[in-house]
Amino acid sequence: MGLESWLAENTIEGKPLIPASTVVPLRDSVEGLEVLMIKRNTKLSFAEGMWVFPGGKIEKEDLIGNPNQESIAKKTACRECFEESGLSLNEDALTYYSHWLPPIEAPKRFSTWFFIAEAPKGAVTVDDGEITEYAWWTPDQALDKAHSNHIEILPPTWITLFDLSQFSSVDETIEAASFRGPRAYATKMIRTDEGIAAVWEGDCDYGTDTSNLAHRHRLVMTESIWKFQLGTHDNK
């Protein structure tokens, strides 16, 4: 299914999708692959106080001179990255990594492109306005901080970090992402015996297909730790 068909299938009447774009700057370090994360001001109206990757809504200025949706999204990602971190990215260096839609219950439904790119040389700067802090962490370090309640992150951030944790370098990450292509996540929220869970296509509780009641594709969010489940799980 193409992107336009997928988006149309997951659009709710009366609640249009808001186009947005995010980029994950990557760099190599002595500890392995690191990602740039930034903290949103606690006074903002969306994702306040959360640690995220640079990104934001697609603006009218991003539409000028761009022939297609991906080009528009790349321009937005580069613009937002510069505004929020001071890092200047080249649109040609961005690799389409994933696409995210929130659950229908979300007050605002952002249709967000996720890109990855090698971070350029230079210092990161934040304005202490919309963005108050930044850090370079390995994906595992960021997840450990989230699980110990030192930082707050959203499910798309968690899944992205979890996925990136399998790679050891920027080149390996970009090569693998280019080979596999972007992954699409239209999120549905459910309650389980363990706690609230975000589920995606392929999970037995995602749609009406009950042919495999043991199949999981979900992120279970307990108070102590978040757990990703993929594949067949024993229901007992």
> What phi, psi does 74 have (nearest 5°)?
-65, -40
pTM, rounded to two decimals: 0.92
Instruction: Quote the pLDDT of residue 236.
Output: 37
Count helices and strands (H / E) in the chain.
5, 12
Q: Which residue has the higher pLDDT, 24 or 222?
A: 24
- Asked if 77 and 94 count as a contact pair (C-beta separation under 8 A), the reply is yes
For the segment 119-132, what is each residue's pLDDT rounded down to a tens digit? 998 899 998 888 99
Instruction: Quote the pLDDT of residue 235.
Output: 46
Mean pLDDT (the chain, rounded): 91
Helix axes 155-164, 139-147, angle to 10 degrees: 140
Mean pLDDT of 54-81: 93
- The domains located in the chain, with CATH, are 3-186 (3.90.79.10), 189-232 (no CATH)
Q: Which residue has the higher pLDDT, 155 or 106?
A: 155
Per-residue tokens: 173: 């990450």
* CA–CA gap between residue 151 and residue 203 (Å, rounded): 28
Q: Which residue has the higher pLDDT, 138 or 16?
A: 138
